[in-house]
């Protein structure tokens, strides 16, 4: 029985189309000369241990330059949120040449294990606070019943397939 459920789960996961990001604009600078925009992929928000986790994105209207002088205009990264202490940790940065995170990255940093991350307090009124407030609002909801009809969460499909 478990083997049949596992096979069904595997077939389901293989048959699902790759989920595209559901970017929600959280905040943006007001300087029209150099606009910085912060987004969250709403489809990526999940509980993990005592934290909330989500994929975030920052885009700039003009090129930014890394230490090696490589130009980029957007970056995606994994954030962990400690909603109780109002702290954020970042990992797995991926940098892209364009404003949209598409194509081959110009630079990529590996994901670090959760226990190796450094959590930092958010500054009141900052983009970090906007991200934390948005993501942490999902903490108190029954996350496993939150289904977007267009993009069912894989976690829900997996839970339905597991034995009781």
Q: Note whether 80 and 14 are same-domain residues.
A: no
**Cα dihedral across residues 19, 25, 29, 30: positive or negative:** positive
For residue range 128-137, what is the model confidence (pLDDT) as tens digits?
A: 999 999 999 9
More confident residue, 66 or 37: 37
pLDDT band of residue 3 (cuts 50, 70, 90) is very low
pLDDT band of residue 99 (cuts 50, 70, 90) is very high
Q: 88 pairs with which residues across the strands? A: 81, 120
pLDDT of amino acid 20: 81
Looking at every residue in the chain, the average pLDDT score rounds to: 79
**Cα dihedral across residues 140, 145, 146, 152: positive or negative:** positive
Transcribe 95-145 into DSSP letters. EESSSS--SS-SEE-PPPPGGG---EEPPTTSHHHHHHHHHHTTTTS-GGG
More confident residue, 88 or 145: 88
- What whole-number distance in Å separates Cα of residue 66 and Cα of residue 64? 7
Q: Note whether 52 and 129 are same-domain residues.
A: yes
pLDDT band of residue 14 (cuts 50, 70, 90) is very low
Domain range for residue 36?
Answer: 23-147
Q: Note whether 33 and 9 are same-domain residues.
A: no
Q: Note whether 104 and 157 are same-domain residues.
A: no
pLDDT of amino acid 141: 58
- Residue holding tokens 């994901």? 111
- What whole-number distance in Å separates Cα of residue 161 and Cα of residue 74? 37
Q: Note whether 27 and 75 are same-domain residues.
A: yes
Q: Note whether 79 and 157 are same-domain residues.
A: no
Q: Note whether 32 and 68 are same-domain residues.
A: yes
Q: Note whether 99 and 113 are same-domain residues.
A: yes
Taking CA atoms, 110 is separated from 77, 78, 90, 92, in Å, by 10, 10, 11, 5
For residue range 85-96, what is the model confidence (pLDDT) as tens digits?
A: 999 999 999 999
Q: Note whether 49 and 122 are same-domain residues.
A: yes
Taking CA 152 as the corner, what is the angle to CA 160 and CA 157, rounded to the nearest 5 degrees? 15
Tell me which residue of 78, 58, 81 sits closest to 129, measured CA to CA: 81
Q: Note whether 72 and 48 are same-domain residues.
A: yes
Q: Note whether 48 and 90 are same-domain residues.
A: yes
How many domains does the chain divide into? Answer: 2
Structure pTM? 0.72
For residue range 23-47, what is the model confidence (pLDDT) as tens digits?
A: 999 999 888 889 999 999 999 999 8
Q: Note whether 62 and 114 are same-domain residues.
A: yes
More confident residue, 81 or 140: 81
CATH number, residue 117: 2.40.128.710
pLDDT of amino acid 139: 83
């Amino acid at each position: 029985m478990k083997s049949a459920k596992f096979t069904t789960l595997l077939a389901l996961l293989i048959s699902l189309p790759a989920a595209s990001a559901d970017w929600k604009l959280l905040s943006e600078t007001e300087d029209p000369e150099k606009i910085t925009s912060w987004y969250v992929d709403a489809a990526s928000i999940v509980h993990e241990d005592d934290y909330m986790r989500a994929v975030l994105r920052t885009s700039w209207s003009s090129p930014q330059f890394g230490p090696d002088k490589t130009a980029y205009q957007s970056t995606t990264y994994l954030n962990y949120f400690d909603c109780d202490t109002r702290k954020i940790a970042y990992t797995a940065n991926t940098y892209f040449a364009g404003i949209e995170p598409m194509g081959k990255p110009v630079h990529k940093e590996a994901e670090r294990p959760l226990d190796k991350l450094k959590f930092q307090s958010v500054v009141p009124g900052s983009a970090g606070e906007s991200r934390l407030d948005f993501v942490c609002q999902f903490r108190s909801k029954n996350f496993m019943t939150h289904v977007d009809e267009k993009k069912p969460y894989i976690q829900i499909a997996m839970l339905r397939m597991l034995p009781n």
